[in-house]
Amino acid sequence: MIRAEDYPVDPWRLRETRLDLDQLGASESLFALSNGHIGLRGNLDEGEPHGLPGTYLNSVHEVRPLPYAEAGYGYPEAGQTVVNVPNGKLIRVLVDDEPFDIRYGDLHSHTRTLDLRTGILTREAEWRSPSGAAIRLRTERLVSLHQRAIAAFRMTVEPIDAAVQLVLQSELVVNEQMPPASDDPRVAADLEAPFVAEDVLRSGSAVTLVHSTKRSGLRVGSGIDHEVSGPPKLHTEVEAFDDLARFTVSAPLEPGESVCLTKYLAYGWSSRRTVPAVRDQVAAALAAARQHGWDGICAQQRAILDEFWAGADVEVDGDDELQQAVRFGLFQVLQASARAEHRPIPAKGLTGTGYDGHTFWDTEVFVLPLLSYTAPHAAADALRWRLDILPIAQERAQVLGLHGAAFPWRTITGAECSGYWPAGTAAFHINADIAMAADRHAWVSGDEKFECEIALPLLVETARLWISLGHHDTDGAFRIDGVTGPDEYSAVADNNVFTNLMARQNLRAAVRVCEQWPEQAERLSVADAELAAWRAAADSMTVPFDDRLGVHPQAEGFTRHAVLDFESLPPEAYPLMMSVPYVQLYRKQVVKQADLVLAMHLCGDEFTPEQKRRNFEYYEQVTVRDSSLSAATQAVLAAEVGHLDLALDYTAETALVDLRDLASNTSHGLHLAALAGTWSALVAGFGGLRDVNRCLCFAPQLPRGLTGLRFALLFRGSRLRVEIDEHEATYTLESGDSALELAHHGEAFTLEPKSSVTKQLPVRRQLPAPTQPKGRAPARRRGSATSSGSPTAEPTTPGPITENGAV
């Protein structure tokens, strides 16, 4: 785990006060910068030491074979893996011919600070070389949210107590030496040196390189340019080679003098454009960066973030650590999506190589709800990407003998990349997840063009899948058999409740949108008979219920399975898929991650309050949270049914999964869905936000330990602010010209523009806490505050947790 004392709690900054080389990989993920197009891991400027070097461009990947012990029809033949593109972060420092390397000499001080309001990562260090020369170094870096193709860096170096000879080497390195990426030497060779040189252009202090990947055929352009100031004797030179560009600055420095180097880094890539086109795109981006300059780029960054925080900030009273964590999560979700522009939002964003850089269902279920309400343009872009890959999903459905579209379980460019079909191909719920996200976004944004051009075809083609996948039995009930729900410890089951209820939502939304846009639906060959089939399937959807126990089985027959013997499992057995055969997991009552509980969140109107409480308490006993996706959903439902203290425990777990490295794998990249889940745990959990049935409803209730919660939502061009304390909630329509129809704990009311309405909170419910499997209870977060104002937590962690089946 990351030591909390190394990262002091600060409401607007992530600050590292001690550099722990054993946690270098995790800190590189925490300090990663991105704009959804470019991703830079938070490696030290000088390049070494490092945990995992990483510079990524969204969707730039290499193709690799997927080996199978036994082949089968319909198995994907190739996988896709994100690759490390040319690294332009490097600025090596030499002092009197000795390289600045924190492993040698004496590091007197070292801090790194990520400012969430400016988007700038700052590093400050004082170092004395083995031979005694001392320097003070300050660096700043950002990835522009305004200029999509640009990152910028500034380094200032000065001697402390004696003259030094300083050399700075600003580099752009291609096919950078990487840690082994695969146990298969053939795959490793492709991934460690994926690029072939195509062009080199040197002009003044700038160098532009163009390369292409060996297998996937992608063309990548990268370039660097510089501005430098210092003493009169300063000297510069430029070198350019196939796989290396270097700008060197050398200067003798007396105490009181300094060298300041500003570096601009630009990228462009394409699967279609020529070498000159990609090269010139990079050159143009560098020219624009130099025109704005460092100060101009920083001002653009601050303006964008000021606007974002005005509509997205979540304020938490009573828990300073949680306050920092939710803002960190919001910032990282924005970074992953702001300029993705018709590209996916991977599970790790652009912060690491975890899951090979793939996108899963996480995006639509956990990330897009946040973005639709806070950064709607980014949510729309992510769903446009789904429309872009729709033809590939339609082809996949045909391979599987189905109609409509079968979207991939994991992918970079749209092709299925999962070689394990029970948890991949059979997890058809991803189609309904995408449909739900598109339908919600159309309603929340009020964007009719989006609804007609993007949501409509997505809803139609996913609806067609359900009709071909399911069937009406002899009693007329519509069944969907042989599928895998969110819980990957129960594969290929019949009538998974989550899948069936999400499919019902999908079918009904498709009918509604087709009736609203009949001409566009007709162009998609939607006929009255097809609409009737969708209605009939939705109305007769099978939803299993166990009358004996009074709960919904996760899938048909689930509650009749034997319960896994949790008492016999030692802590090191988790995550279970690393120590228990799947054949044992599939036939027992054990839940990897929220499944039926997630259905109660996303399809809440399908359950009575009593069913929600009984279901939640039943599934708490068998849910082990071997996935980082689970805690946020459990927090939302725990709050709804009245387990408020437990909801706070789960909220803290999802919020701190990376800031405290609870899963021991933050070095692979951030858990983006879990970070987005912090927003859901607070806004949907304690704020009670629900948006089913085209109604914006709230049911706020605070746990012990939180004294206030405030958040803003963007809804149909208006900004709604919700302020909650221990006794009442105030709703304010800060901007917008139209009144909003809202509900507070089931009471409907109208909120006029530029007005506020205050409602009383019901008496706080606090039910007796349910039990979890042995050793799998979340770390307790008590309501009593420490001297710093943060609640204390017992020194326990949930153990290793995973996301999407990978450690």
- What's the CA gap between 711 and 700, in Å, rounded? 12
Q: Which two tokens stand for residue 628?
A: 């980082």
Q: In what order do the strands lie in the sheet with 740-744?
A: 696-698, 740-744, 747-751
In Å, how far from its chain's centre is CA 103?
33
Q: How many residues are given for the chain?
A: 807
Q: Which two tokens stand for residue 344?
A: 């996916």
- What's the CA gap between 465 and 445, in Å, rounded? 27
- What's the CA gap between 201 and 445, in Å, rounded? 45
Single-letter residue type at 181? A
Q: Which two tokens stand for residue 287?
A: 């020219």
66, 80 Cβ separation under 8 angstroms = no
Q: Is 341 left (phi over 0), alpha (psi -120 to 50) or beta?
A: left
Exposed, middle or buried by CB within 10 Å (0-12, 13-18, 19+), for 766?
Answer: middle
By C-alpha distance, which of 712, 720, 711 is closest to 749? 720
User: Do β-strands 33-34 and 38-40 pair in parallel, antiparallel, or remain unpaired?
Assistant: antiparallel
Residue 383 — φ and ψ, nearest 5°? -75, -30
753, 785 Cβ separation under 8 angstroms = no
Exposed, middle or buried by CB within 10 Å (0-12, 13-18, 19+), for 261?
Answer: buried
262, 154 Cβ separation under 8 angstroms = yes
Single-letter residue type at 146? H
Residue 598 — φ and ψ, nearest 5°? -65, -35
535, 541 Cβ separation under 8 angstroms = no
Choose the catalytic residue: 171, 416, 488, 723: 488
Strands annotated E in 241-317: 244-253, 259-270, 314-317
By C-alpha distance, which of 745, 729, 769 is closest to 644? 769
DSSP conformational letter for 771: P
DSSP conformational letter for 424: T
The CA angle 75-195-345, to the nearest 5 degrees, is: 55
Exposed, middle or buried by CB within 10 Å (0-12, 13-18, 19+), for 568?
Answer: exposed
Question: Would you report the helix, strand and coil content of the chain in percent, each value rounded to 5?
Answer: 35, 25, 40
- What's the CA gap between 407 and 402, in Å, rounded? 12
- Catalytic residue list contains 488: yes
Residue 680 — φ and ψ, nearest 5°? -65, -45
By C-alpha distance, which of 506, 485, 519, 341 is closest to 432? 506
- What's the CA gap between 7 and 490, in Å, rounded? 39
User: Which residues are catalytic, by number?
Assistant: 488
